[in-house]
Amino acid sequence: MDNPRIADRLDAFASLLELAETNPYMARAYRRAAETIRATAFPIAELVTSGRVRELRGIGPGIERRLRELVETGAIAELEELERELAPDLVGLGRYLGLSAKRSVELARALGVRTADQLREAAAAGRLPTVPGIGPKTEARLLEGLAREAEPRPRRGLLLSRAWDLVGAIAGALDGEAAGDARRWRDSCELLAVVCAARYPRSLLARFGALPQIVALVEQDERRAVGVTVEGVPVELVVAEPQRFGTALIRATGSPEYARALEPLPDAPDEEAVYRALGLPWCPPELREEPFGGEPPALVEPGDIRGDLHCHTTWSDGRASIQEMGRAARERGYEYLAICDHTPAVGAVRGLSPDDVRRQAEEIAAANELLAPFRVLRGIECDILPDGRLDLADDVLAELDWVQASVHGGQRMPRAEMTKRVEEALRNPYVHCLSHPKGRYINRRPENALDLERVFDVALEEGIALEVNGLPDRLDLRGELVRDALGAGVQVVCSTDAHSVRGLGNMVFSVATARRGWATAAGVVNTGSLRSILDRGVERSWGSPRSG
């Protein structure tokens, strides 16, 4: 079994463990293990048979046993048992209709059905009211949902990282291209699509329905199908004729408003040919949200990034040492990495006292001796206290190469108070960057009430950059606000906020979010050299000397 197939089975196991309402940490561990396996270049099956698979981070004895069973027999017995017990296609359809996994199973048992098709037949036959707890209103809602099955839209957007894992795996299995919201790198993805090219679509449609990610088909015609995952997430497959592949990919990638503005689209085998036929310049997928005229700028590329300016280590809540993080950053081709562990006021995790900061400096110096000419920078993610003061004294901050100021507690402060709090912190002469400025967690917590227009004014005056945080559940600033910041003359920093070596890979999400905000390399601080970063305490390359 190859790595993608093994990872898919672990993902399926994790999903079914979640449906069975077992220990949530177990499901999370299997999902992380699947991510590790997808990212591993060496064949996992060989590591399993040689007894070395536990050398991979996150693979413990329980997961090793399941991997050995999978490699040796081609299956996981407990997974197959859960699939029989929970009927994933029925649960997937139920979740698509807004039912919990438990309620879907109860409904199936009451109706005596085992599959999604049998549930549809029972509903069409008017049997839903025979189930305890289903009255006329609930029946009407379920029937309405079944009538709208073909709409490829989940109830709640997926995080970008999960959306890419899902559509990327499907596209890879079908030799297609990921499309929809994920290809535009939206922070919350609702429209998930894959586009393939084939003269004869039947075999591709059959392969799509048989993929482990797809548990039920809710629509299918000659060149299109919509399948749902066990979580109830719909994914659309478009199988275009080869000479129309580019046309189909543009339609499936751009927002409906963007695609409509280009119609009628000419038939072409690739996107570049479509744009040429329209007499338009190539448009990067990230900018295909709304129609616009003119030529797009040369957007920042991941290869333009020369260092990461926000990561954590075991000194606070990270999972790797300074040397491990530095070595991993150097292997990515970076020139520098700023270690920005937390300060005590963050509360939920360990924070560094002034003594800790100075002891950490010794470890950073030792890492630099080993990793030179790569440079580990002394940094901090310093909490902004409610009154605008910083959590460490100026004499400590003055020793550091890079200072991130962050709001963690009190995100619900009124607009005026929050803005005053942040403005006061940005006036500190040792602050370089404002971390995750709007404090949001996608699908979990809304943005805070910070007045960004005022913050832009202060940042420009003081020479402060604003972060584009690459954590998939943050992506803060979001794309529209990145564009506002750049328009105000404020530079941004593309950072990962990595808490592990793997987390350094989140740079792709940060850069994509900056690109959605029309950022060029000149607008991103860490496209600059190590020397330019070290010189920022004296004079910013984009503005006047710092105050203070």
Looking at residue 455, its pLDDT comes to 96
Confidence of residue 29 (pLDDT cuts 50, 70, 90): confident
Residue among 465, 452, 453 at smallest CA distance from 541? 465
Asked whether the predicted pLDDT for residue 149 surpasses 60, the reply is no
The pLDDT score that the predictor gives to residue 310 is 97
- Quick one: pLDDT band at residue 22, thresholds 50, 70, 90? low
Q: Are 455 and 415 in contact (CB under 8 A)?
A: no
Higher pLDDT among residues 12 and 68, named by residue: 68
Prediction pTM value: 0.80
| Contact predicate 461/436, CB 8 Å | no
Query: 151 vs 247, which has greater pLDDT?
Result: 247
In the predicted model, what is the mean pLDDT of residues 390-402? 94
**DSSP per residue over 285-342, as a string?**
GGGTTS---SPPP-B--GGG--EEEEE--TTTT-SS-HHHHHHHHHHTT-SEEEE--B
Q: When comparing pLDDT for 535 and 156, which is higher? A: 535
What CA–CA distance (Å, rounded) separates 417 from 412? Answer: 10
In percent, the amount of the chain with pLDDT more than 90 equals: 59
Q: Which residue has the higher pLDDT, 543 or 58?
A: 58
**φ/ψ of residue 280, rounded to 5:** -120, 150
Give per-residue pLDDT as tens, 51-72: 888 888 778 888 898 898 888 8
pLDDT at res. 541: 33
Q: Cβ of 86: how many Cβ atoms within 10 Å?
A: 21
d(CA 517, CA 300): 10
Q: Given this model, what pLDDT does residue 426 score?
A: 96
The whole-number pLDDT of residue 546 equals 38
Range with lowest mean pLDDT among 20-34, 256-270, 457-471: 20-34
Q: By mean pLDDT, which of 80-84, 125-129, 133-137, 497-501 is the weakest?
A: 80-84
More reliable by pLDDT, 4 or 285: 285
Give the Cα-Cα-Cα angle 288, 293, 296 (nearest 5 degrees).
60
* Sign for the pseudo-dihedral over CA of 74, 53, 210, 143: positive
Sign of the CA dihedral running 23, 93, 153, 132: negative
- According to CATH, what is the number of the domain 3-84? 1.10.150.110
Helix, coil or strand: residue 78 = helix
What pLDDT score was predicted for residue 548?
34
Report CA-CA distances (Å) from 324 to 41, 303, 401, 496. 19, 22, 20, 16
Class of domain 302-537: alpha beta
Residues contacting 172, CB < 8 A, separation 6+? 4
Q: What average pLDDT does the structure give for the chain?
A: 88
Q: What is the pLDDT of residue 136?
A: 86
pLDDT given at position 128: 87
Residue range 252-270, pLDDT digits in tens? 999 999 999 999 999 999 9
Q: Rounded distance, CA 264 to CA 241, Å?
A: 18
Amino acid code (one letter) for 140? A
Domain 158-287 has CATH 3.30.460.10: yes
Q: Report the distance separating Cα 492 and Cα 437, nearest Å.
A: 11
**Coil, strand or helix: which one is 532?**
helix
Res. 543 pLDDT band, cuts 50 70 90: very low
**How sure is the predictor about 25, in pLDDT bands with cuts at 50, 70 and 90?**
confident
Q: Residue 156 pLDDT > 80, yes or no? A: no
Which residue did the predictor score with more confidence, 471 or 7? 471
Q: How far is CA 27 from CA 8, 11, 23, 38, in A?
A: 14, 9, 7, 17
High-pLDDT (> 70) share of the chain, %: 92
- Is the pLDDT score of 466 beyond 70? yes
Q: Higher confidence at residue 543 or residue 404?
A: 404
For residues 422 and 312, give the distance between their C-alpha atoms in angstroms, rounded to a whole number.
22
What integer pLDDT is reported at residue 148 of this predicted model? 63
Q: What is the pLDDT confidence band of residue 465, given thresholds at 50, 70 and 90?
A: very high
Tell me what the mean pLDDT of segment 94-106 comes to. 72
pLDDT of residue 88: 67
Alpha helices in 381-451 (DSSP H): 394-397, 415-426
